[in-house]
Every structure is written in C-alpha cells, then in structure tokens.
Amino acid sequence: MTRRRKILLRVGLGFIAACVLLVAYDCTVGPLKFRYLIHRVESARTADEERKAFQLAADWGRVWEVDRLSPKDMAADGRRITGDWLLRLEWLESSPFGGGAYVAYRAVIDTNNLQVLARNY
C-alpha cells in the first residue's frame, strides 16, 4: 500500500468516526439532556427550585417558545395541571425519535421566575 493510500484511508476513517460520534451524540446525549431538563422544570416544588430549573433550561438549550396556556388547553392536551399561570416551555431542538420539539409543562409558582426565561429568550 502506498503512502498516499494510507493517508487517505486514515482521513476517511477519521471522517467516518466523527460522523458516528455526531449521530451517537444526537441520539443519546441530546435526548437524555432534555429529559433531565423537562424533569427539573416539571418537578420543581418551590419558587427557588423553579427559578433554578428555568435557569438551567435556558442555559442548556435554546428556548424557542414560552406560552401561557389556559386550563382548556391543558384539558385538551390530557394534562391535569391546575394553577393561575400554566406554562408551556418549548426548546428549539427536536427529538430524533419523535420528530417533535422538546416541551415541558408547568403551573408557575412565582411569576418573577419567568424573568429568567425572558432574559434568555
């Protein structure tokens, strides 16, 4: 095998390895990261936990939409969340498995925490 072929083979294998790593990241690390973010946003129990969850969500992903929902919207979606402020938080990134965007739903405890999302929105 000539020197040129060896170099081309190494470059080709390096390119294939980079492509495999990129696909592996998109199919494993990305979904795990967003499942964690959704869990943090939806499971926050106090105003401080909620603020930290919103900050984490804004730092780790590109928040695309922050919508205030009505109770009718939540009922139509099949969710049983009640409160004065019902929030739908959507990231720009989408799931490679479902094709849709990553979304979290929550009844906001402290509306001042929404300023965290507004700064990064």
For 114, other C-beta atoms within 10 Å of its C-beta total: 18
| Burial of 70 (C-beta count, 10 Å sphere; 0-12/13-18/19+) | exposed
* Residue 106 vs residues 10, 15, 21, 23: alpha-carbon distances, Å: 50, 42, 34, 31
pTM of the model: 0.77
Give me the tens of pLDDT residue by residue for the chain, a chain 121 residues long: 799 999 999 999 999 999 999 888 888 888 899 999 999 999 999 999 999 999 999 888 888 888 888 877 776 666 778 778 889 999 888 877 777 889 999 999 998 988 888 876 5
Give the C-alpha distances (Å, rounded to integers) separating 118 from 46, 47, 66, 80: 20, 17, 9, 26
Q: Domain segments of the chain: what residues?
A: 31-120
pLDDT for 51: 94
